[in-house]
Amino acid sequence: MAGIQDDGLDNDTLQHLRSRATQLLFKEDWREYVAVCSRIIDAASSGDDRRLLCSTLAHRADARARLGDAAGGLADCDAALAAEPAHPGALLSKGALLRGLGRYAAAADCFRAAALASGGGAAADEARELAEQCRRLEAQAKSGVVDLSEWVLAGFAGKFPDLAEYVGSVEVRRSPHGGRGLFAVKNVEAGATLIIAKAVAIGRGVIPDAADSDEKMFVWKDFVGKVLEAAEKCPKTAALIYTLSTGEEHQDEPVVPDMVIFRNETEGDSLSDGTSAARAMGTQEAAHVDRILKVLDVNCLTEDAPAADVLGNNGVVNCGVGLWVLPSFINHSCHPNARRTHIGDHAIVHASRDIKAGEEITFPYFDVLVPVSKRREASRAWGFECKCDRCRFEAEDSILRQEILKSEKDLASGGDIGAVVVRLEEKMRKSVVRERQKAFLRASFWSAYSALYDSDKLMRKWGRRVPSEALVAETVADVVSGNESVLKAMLRGSRDGNGCGNRLEVEDKVVRIGRATYGKLVKRHAMRDLFRLTLDATNKINI
């Protein structure tokens, strides 16, 4: 300890600093904790207590990681390892930092080295387990393959599974409909994972009353604060946020970002031109709070809680809003080809039907199982007008337009649901509407169809004049690219295979809709088991 004393820190002062550091650790006051650690490190650097130096550097690295200073944390770890190459604490800290940056292979190497340096016991076992987790995450980050089957079938017990960020064969391009969109680079089959993205920030709250605007405002303010904090902590995060639209750009000249900035393949925080994220942003970018707020206004997504009945409901979160950068480039369609599922802080986007190379990827921003007038109200609230093929057909077809308006009014006034469905089916039959257009209309009036099939009384009255529930559910699923309520209807309507073929054909159709709804997160055999559990729980059928 002589060196420490020569530097002006006697043993009592050193003990005081270490005690102070412990207090700050419990308080999670990371900035002050870093300052205290720095004083200890400065003193230890001029002394001969290498053990104190390395352990304090590792602790400061952890604190810097909490503050979003990954580069500073890695520098601390490297300094500790330069002094003691096999320091377990520094190796663990570096592994955690590299894992947070998505550099899983390098993180696994650190954890394996930490296991060897620990010399056995529980610490070594934990380090080996962390190395194995990183190995799995590395494979996932390269392939996008996620298997949540065991977690789902175990009743969603425990914490959310670990996920790695992944960017598939997609790229941002100018959209023919204006602005920018995400497009498939290669042919993609239904169920394939397109993106796994971790949120910049999420605001969550339990809203007892859907009309409780005060609670929703609290969630929003909390969320905005988290986004601003994340942008201040990390220049690369801020740079990614600034790639998103503010809604004010000239639509004829949208800036198309290079896909490399969305991947975790580089060793540092450099952008595609080789300059640092901080330099690319400019000296004043971090202070552009107004710009960030405008980005949030047009890019936030409502969090679909872990999907009801299949991906569990861990907690009672009734309100969630978040910012996922790359998924925010995906445009809306009422006839989408992709779907997203939220698990923890990650959003997983998968192809809900086959997508051709060069085709724009779309998913719904809001409930699309409603008539065109309500969907247009919802799109205007988002600041755009949906011009997808489904909306154009329902709004512009001169033959069916009056029938659509009449059906909407009858439903709004509490008319006979069965009569509405029968009249709509007859009108489609007489108008020689194509099968895809029938599916559009059935999806728009899904609430009426669903209520009809739910009622034994209405089915006794109208059942012979409407298509089978399974048939309608199948056609609607093709249009909306999978949906939990449609999947349930398909399960229920498949009781006798009525209108759907034999037992194996029925199962294949149900699994196909399940794949459109949940992607390949749940393997085919597990999905079958899950369907059986779901049906048994509701005293329904077994397929």
Walk along the chain (543 residues) and give the pLDDT tens digit of each residue: 333 444 446 778 888 888 998 999 898 999 999 999 999 998 888 777 788 899 999 999 999 999 888 889 999 999 999 999 999 999 999 999 999 888 999 999 999 999 999 888 899 999 999 999 999 999 999 999 988 888 877 766 777 788 999 999 999 999 888 889 999 999 999 999 999 999 999 988 765 555 556 667 778 889 999 999 888 888 888 889 999 988 877 656 778 998 988 886 544 444 333 334 434 444 444 448 888 999 998 899 887 644 444 444 544 445 688 999 999 999 999 999 999 988 888 999 999 999 999 999 999 998 899 999 999 999 988 888 898 999 998 888 777 888 888 888 888 888 889 999 999 999 888 887 888 999 999 999 999 999 999 888 999 999 899 998 888 998 999 899 878 788 888 877 765 444 455 666 777 777 888 888 888 888 877 777 766 665 555 544 433
Can you tell me the distance from the alpha carbon of 304 to that of 318, in angstroms, rounded to the nearest whole number? 9
Distance of CA 79 to the CA centre of its chain: 36
- Running DSSP on this structure, what letter comes out for residue 464? G
- Express each pLDDT in 242-286 by its tens digit: 999 888 776 567 789 989 888 865 444 443 333 344 344 444 444
| CA neighbor of 190 nearest in space, from 43, 351, 73 | 351
Going across the sheet that includes 301-302, the strands are: 201-205, 319-323, 301-302
For residue 132, give both structure tokens.
């194995």
Can you tell me the distance from the alpha carbon of 265 to that of 246, in angstroms, rounded to the nearest whole number? 28
Can you tell me the distance from the alpha carbon of 54 to that of 50, in angstroms, rounded to the nearest whole number? 6
HSE-up of residue 452 (Cα within 13 Å, Cβ side): 28
Distance of CA 506 to the CA centre of its chain: 31
Are the beta carbons of 272 and 314 closer than 8 angstroms?
no
Question: What's the pLDDT score for residue 490?
Answer: 81
Can you tell me the distance from the alpha carbon of 200 to that of 145, in angstroms, rounded to the nearest whole number? 22
Question: What's the pLDDT score for residue 206?
Answer: 65
Amino acid letter, 294: K
3-state helix, strand, coil in the chain (%, to 5): 55, 10, 35
For residue 72, give both structure tokens.
């500073």
State the sign of the Cα–Cα–Cα–Cα dihedral 128, 134, 136, 138: negative
Domains of the chain: 11-143 (1.25.40.10), 166-267+277-363 (2.170.270.10), 372-468 (no CATH)
Residue partners of 77: CB distance under 8 A and separation at least 6 = 57, 58, 61, 90, 91, 93, 94, 97
- Express each pLDDT in 128-183 by its tens digit: 999 999 999 999 999 999 888 888 777 667 777 889 999 999 999 998 888 899 99
Can you tell me the distance from the alpha carbon of 124 to that of 119, in angstroms, rounded to the nearest whole number? 7
- The length of the chain is 543
Question: What's the pLDDT score for residue 501?
Answer: 54
- Name residue, tokens 């387990």: 129
Phi, psi (rounded to 5 degrees) for 348: -110, 120
Can you tell me the distance from the alpha carbon of 439 to that of 390, in angstroms, rounded to the nearest whole number? 10
Phi, psi (rounded to 5 degrees) for 166: -150, 140
What's the 3-state SS for 312-379? CCCCCCCEEEEECCHHHHCEECCCCCEEEEEECCEEEEEECCCECCCCEEEECCCCCCCCHHHHHHHH
